[in-house]
Amino acid sequence: MPERTELLFKLIFICRFTGKGGTGEKKKMLPCVIVVFVLLSCACGENPAVQVILTNKGLQYGKHESTGWIQEKLEQITFPDISGSVDIYIGQIYYTLSGVTIKKCDLPEPSVEFVQQSGLTTSIAGLSFAVAGDWSNRFASIHDSGSFDMAIFNIDVTSAVQLGSDAGGRLSVTSVNCKASVGDVSVQFHGGASWIFQPFVKYFKGHIIGIIQSKICPEVEDTIVNLDHHLQAMNVSFDVNEVLSFDVPLTGNPDIEPSNMKLGFKGEFHSIKTHTEPPFVAQEFVLPELAGYMLSAGLSEFTVNSASFGYFSAGQLQAFINDSMIPPYIPFRLNTSAMGGFIPQLPKMYPGLLMNLQVNARDAPMFSFQPGSGVLDVHICVKASATESNGTQVPLFTLYIDSSFTGKMMIGDGKLKGSMMLNNVTLTLGSSEIGDFKTDALENGIKSGMVVVLGKLNAKLGEGIMLPRIKHAQLVNTVLKMQKGFVAIYSDVQILQTDRSSYLSTSYL
């Protein structure tokens, strides 16, 4: 990026001092200006807030798990009828092979490899299978029919696909090359006058090989086209709940190396109500590789903060609190008498009244990830009021509370666990309808209350929550590392045996 920026400024300098003069010079300057704007658009490209890396280990695991399913599906395929004719010197024999189904399949494990800055290459060598069906033929006025068995040997298929992204940020896949060959075919006819036609198999065996061979690559390419259509129909933005939507289009083409494929996603939350852009942008980060895992994922603090801003801009970060909502384990009641220990004049002015608190975030809470931990800064406004016997709300005072927390996350026993601690709390009197008062005691009381609440919260965080299942699969051997600006997750994936069939039957391979 620095090199591109330097080049950009050099071009601006050149355009500035070579474009002086009259109309002719201005026309000469136009192409240079266009180049500058093109480079500017590249220099200001969007940084991905979410990164995912599929390693070669993950690719090979997916290939291995799918091989058995492919073999099962091949045995369910019904082939189209094969028709043709053979010249046997005394005339033409017209034949049709129909109802062709696979009875047995010997599928070697395919080879799948990443191709540098391109896509994937898949190859199968030595595929053989046995089929059975019905035959019918016509020679002059003679018609006959029966059944047959056929063995097809040593089918080799190689397919290369290009991976990219479309204008909408969806993954695209395009076939760029396909080669197929069939080694040999053996046919045995049964029934009818098959004993007459069996000697002539050698004359039309090449025709059958040619038909089978010519069908393979078009079928492969149709499958790739169908996969691409499926990818183009996928949503890159969806509603998380009634408040937030999540945008996850690709920010560029996949970055493919021989050992892995890297995908970058926008990873931004928005308020469904306002769709307001956050006042910050995703910063560039490099997801470090950790050897031995199938998947790596990086989640930047931008993504988490965009969710926080989404809730804030939607007006969701507010709460109305009364005495009935105070947990019983907190030794404090929300009334003027209890508050008298912090604000001496309050129970004198409004004795024995219940109180209400209107709590609002002054801005969106912000997360900052650091190596090993994260920091959360929260700034809230608390407006206190007293409830008179007739229900009238009497405004009392407004407080500004600024707090900072440090949190840690880890993964253990298949659960996401964590802990939080209070760094600091600062309380400031914003305004008061009951006169000035010192906030030190109230600040200390709030700190004590937060410590109690955090103790309860940490007990729950220590128990952890089960890692979410990917559809039809489970994350295993998962490691979480907090880094500067992002959280890195490394994991293997295990396809669940009970879901294997339904998972693969809805996949495109």
Structural class in CATH, domain 77-233 = alpha beta
pLDDT of amino acid 19: 45
pLDDT of amino acid 88: 66
Give the DSSP per-residue string, 421-479.
EEEEEEEEEEEESS-----HHHHHHHHHHHHHHHHHHHHHHHH-EEPPPBTTEEEEEEE
Structural class in CATH, domain 237-494 = alpha beta
pLDDT of amino acid 45: 53
Residue extents of the structural domains in the chain? 77-233, 237-494
Tokens of 218: 């078009």
Sign of the Cα pseudo-torsion (231, 232, 235, 236, in order) = positive
Sign of the Cα pseudo-torsion (203, 204, 209, 214, in order) = positive
- Which strand ranges, in their side-by-side order, compose the sheet holding 255-257? 255-257, 260-265, 50-55, 295-300, 486-495, 473-483
Residue entry with tokens 């039809």? 472
d(CA 245, CA 152): 52
How far apart, in Å, are the Cα atoms of 337 and each of 342, 386, 441? 10, 11, 15
Q: Which amino acid is at 118?
A: S
Task: Give Cα 185 to chain centroid, integer Å.
Answer: 45
Q: Which residues of 245-277 are buried (b: 16+ CB within 10 A; e: fewer)?
A: bbbbbbbeebebeeebbbbbbbbbbbbeeeeee
Q: Which residues contact 5 (CB under 8 A, 6 or more apart)?
A: 43
Which 8-state DSSP code applies to residue 116? T
Low-confidence ranges of the chain (pLDDT < 70): 1-45, 75, 88, 90, 197, 200, 497-509
Angle at 397 between CA 387 and CA 376, to 5 degrees: 110
pLDDT of amino acid 70: 76
Partnered with residue 238 across adjacent β-strands are 246
